[in-house]
Amino acid sequence: MNIVNSYTISVLERIKNLESFIVSPEINFAKIRELGKTRLKKALLVYSKLKGMTIDVDIADSKNEVITNKENDKFNIIKNEYGTEIFLDKPLNIINIKEDIKKLNVDIIVLEFTTETIDEIKKVLKQLKTRKGEYREYNYKRGVY
């Protein structure tokens, strides 16, 4: 679910046992700040190979595969019980701006791992301490909505 506005949050607040939600990676930092205070804890993806889509069509030969489009962008294809999920190969990574994230009134930061190896996960966890790594903000800078 893409949580992009305070109306959606007010609806979610009515769900009795719900404690938190993840803000959509499709809105920009300014709009995240505008969401304001809420009963629910706001979570923000700071590292994730974002999911582009889930489809029912079987487009891969193996369970996990990488495909490349005409622009030479790579996508990870994962087949599972939900269908075929397509993830961006280059992860969203805003760990470097941890101090700026604090200004967004976010309660939880989320690291989401999908196809990473153990070594890649260790590298990302090290970035939490050093705040150094490959910065890639995708839509957080300009937004989609």
Q: Tens digits of per-residue pLDDT, 26-81? A: 999 999 999 988 999 999 999 999 998 899 888 877 778 888 989 998 999 988 88
pLDDT over 90 (residue 120): yes
Give the domain ranges of the chain. 1-48+92-145, 51-90
Work out the mean pLDDT of the chain and round it to a whole number.
89
Residue 8 — pLDDT band, cuts 50, 70, 90? very high
pLDDT over 80 (residue 141): no
Strands (E) located in 1-145: 20-22, 41-48, 51-55, 64-68, 74-80, 83-88, 92-93, 108-112
Cβ contact 43:106 at 8 Å: yes
Higher per-residue pLDDT: 136 or 119: 119
Q: What mean pLDDT comes out for the span 106-111?
A: 95
pLDDT over 90 (residue 12): yes
pLDDT over 70 (residue 145): no
